[in-house]
Amino acid sequence: MNRLNTAQTVVHAEIFARRVTARLSEAEADLDYDISERLRAARERALSRRKVVAVPAIARQPQQEAAAPSGKRNWWRAVVSAVPLSAMVAGLAFFNGVQADEGASEMAEYDATLLADELPPSAYTDPGFTQFLKIAAQKQPNDKR
């Protein structure tokens, strides 16, 4: 019986606190700026010092009963939130495949150009060939004049 009285006391105290807060909030509009600022600072101090009171299980029963049907909703929300995530993963996989195909086609085009060229592929690995390309690149702007 003592637990029931304690739970009722806590619930009644919470209801009283909400009523007082509502009345104070209504009257706050009529106050001067400096008074309302002092009240705000006092509220912040009071909230920082407020002790958290553990609400007994008896006082929590109505909340638990109300929360019971939402378990099904939470499962449904999880399923619905998984849909955009799976769409994003599928999109990333698609773009990865497209990029891989583009990269492969670019490499195939480069290989075809290299094999169709007059020079043998071993010429591209020769250190003298890079020097030849640098000299040829320097001569081209002069030839255009």
Q: Kindly list the domain boundaries of the chain, sorted by start residue.
A: 1-68
> For residues 103 and 76, what is the distance between their CA atoms, to the nearest angstrom?
41
Give the residue ranges of DSSP H helices in the chain. Answer: 2-28, 33-49, 57-67, 70-116, 127-143
Q: What are the pLDDT tens digits along the chain (145 aa)? A: 455 677 788 888 889 988 888 887 777 777 788 888 888 888 888 878 776 655 555 555 554 444 445 556 677 788 888 888 899 999 999 988 888 888 788 888 877 877 777 777 777 778 887 787 788 778 766 555 4
Closest CA to 57 of 3, 103, 125: 3
Q: What is the pLDDT of residue 68?
A: 47
Q: What is the pLDDT of residue 90?
A: 92
Q: What is the pLDDT of residue 3?
A: 59
Secondary structure of residue 84 in the 3-state scheme: helix
Cβ atoms < 10 Å from Cβ of 48? 7
Q: What is the pLDDT of residue 81?
A: 84
Q: What is the pLDDT of residue 65?
A: 47
